[in-house]
Amino acid sequence: MKKFFVKEFCEIISEPRMFNCGSGLVVQHAELPEVDDELSVSLRIKLKSHHTGWGTVFRKGGDESQGNFERTPGLFLDANISKLYPRFTGHWNDNVGLSEIGDGLLLNKWSHITYTLSDPEKRMDIYINGVWIAFYAIENVQMHRVKFNDKQLHIGWYIDGEIGNFRYFNWRLSAEEAMKNYLNQRPFC
């Protein structure tokens, strides 16, 4: 039996939405496109200030306070400087990914971020403003797999700023698609 794949995406936040450090948005798994073995997330973000603790731009997974560390996909900001920490959960490790990408997000300036993750290609890629800036490759390609989940998507926790054009895709965007997605975003004032 042949399985057909349908490319879908959901724009969860269109116009900029303000997040104030403790508040965030929760999206139920059933409201998202069905993900098989790869996904992408793109968004625009403008920070008002750096948080003194870790910020969660987005994380799909269970409640970390109850010991559930699923985070596929996950994008976090380092305390005080807002460097990007893109992460995911693998079958071999709950917390896989990259640390300290770039110099940190600039305050009061819109940045477009695209996060892509593919189990068949065994990689995660990060783009800022349409430009490919980092990747993580799964080294043990025969044994290690990305662990996708059916948990809630958490957006904007401990972020002081705005997020807009938040899109969740059920496929890995190519470099060309990531650039096109960036260029097709309506500018915010």
- Strands 74-77, 55-60: pairing is antiparallel
Whole-model pTM?
A: 0.94
Q: Examine residue 73 and say whether the peptide bond preceding it is cis (omega within 30 degrees of 0).
A: yes
**Model pLDDT, residue 100:** 85
Enumerate domains of the chain plus CATH numbers: 9-183 (2.60.120.200)
Please give the torsion angle defined by the CA atoms of residues 46, 31, 5 and 15, in that order, rounded to the nearest 10 degrees: -30
Residue-wise pLDDT for 54-113, tens only, equals: 999 999 997 766 777 889 999 999 999 999 999 999 999 999 999 989 889 999 999 999
Quick: pLDDT tens for 69-85: 889 999 999 999 999 99
Tokens coding 45: 């973000």
